[in-house]
Structure 1
Amino acid sequence: MSSSKVAIEIWKSMVESKRFDRVLRKIKIISAHDGKCTAEMTVEEEHTNRNGTLHGGYTATIVDMITSMALVTNKQAIAGVSVDMHISYLKSASLGDQILIEAKTNKVGRTLAFLDVVIKKKESGDLVATGSHTKFVGS
């Protein structure tokens, strides 16, 4: 099975589950291959904080999971576990905004993988958040 199909199958099983991952069900994977993953979503009420903008915790979950999808499309096709995440919140995304999420694998070593993600408004290209994610991938 291709790495793209693996990522799509993993995503589908996550968002259709009864576990926490189901909060991501409104995110659509656009492409997933060669250590990269691109996804999109529309900010809906369930994704917002009391100010009506994209919730920071939801943003962190996006960073975690979309970078993980980028990682599983890498040659090693492993998910790993989080060691460290950094998120910079740059601009709010409001109810109804469409956002584009672009994640890439920078390096996979013997025990660690390093990934980056950019979240931006689809229409304007304005950066909403950037993130970096380190995952343990050793045995």
Structure 2
Amino acid sequence: MIEIIEAETGAQKTLGYVLEIGHEDGSARCRLDVTEAHSNRHGVLHGGIATTILDNAMGATSSLTVDPKGRTPFLTISMSTQFQAPAHAGKRVTATARVTGGGRALLYLEATLVDEDDRLIATSIGVFKRARTSRTEEGR
């Protein structure tokens, strides 16, 4: 069953993206209905916002490796985004991520951002680390 996470963080509230947790392939998806508010000076989806959507999909997918609800926080250590095509207002874009490797301390992921016509907008790779959540964990 797919769980929808929306308006949970300041970034989600500001940008309006939604996380989908619980896909059968073990990935999280992050989707955004692109509006003029998401546009750059050229009238297309701003690259920083596209990167944010990709980052959230990879972070949530990382979380799913240790938490079936996708709520365990992971930090982005590094990330690289490659832009392929513009996304226009009025289109929905969806980022899907998958774990490609890693071990106990770090996870390696890749993600794609496509529009509702399945046109590739951007790709990304990233390295993620589980965030420490208590003083007990910090001592480890």
TM-score when normalising by structure 1:
0.76
8 Å contact kept, 2:21–2:27: no
Which residue in 2 is equivalent to 1:117? 111
8 Å contact kept, 1:32–1:69: no
Say which structure is richer in helix. Answer: 1
For residue 88 of structure 1, the aligned residue among 73, 82, 88 is: 82
How far 1:53 sits from its partner (Å)?
0.4
Which residue in 2 is equivalent to 1:53? 44
How far 1:37 sits from its partner (Å)?
1.4
Which residue in 1 is equivalent to 2:128? 135
8 Å contact kept, 2:54–2:96: no
Alpha-carbon distance in structure 1 between the residues aligned to 2:93 and 2:114:
5
Aligned CA-pair RMSD: 2.5
Structure 1 unaligned segments of length 5 or more: list them: none
Among all aligned residue pairs of Structure 1 and Structure 2, give the percentage whose two residues are the same amino acid.
Answer: 23
8 Å contact kept, 1:28–1:41: no
For residue 20 of structure 1, the aligned residue among 2, 5, 11 is: 11
Alpha-carbon distance in structure 1 between the residues aligned to 2:110 and 2:92:
20
Structure 2 unaligned segments of length 5 or more: list them: 132-136
For residue 28 of structure 2, the aligned residue among 37, 42, 57 is: 37
CA deviation map 1:71-96 (0-9, x unaligned):
1222x224321110000011000111
8 Å contact kept, 2:92–2:115: yes
How far 1:30 sits from its partner (Å)?
7.0
Structure of higher CA gyration radius: 2
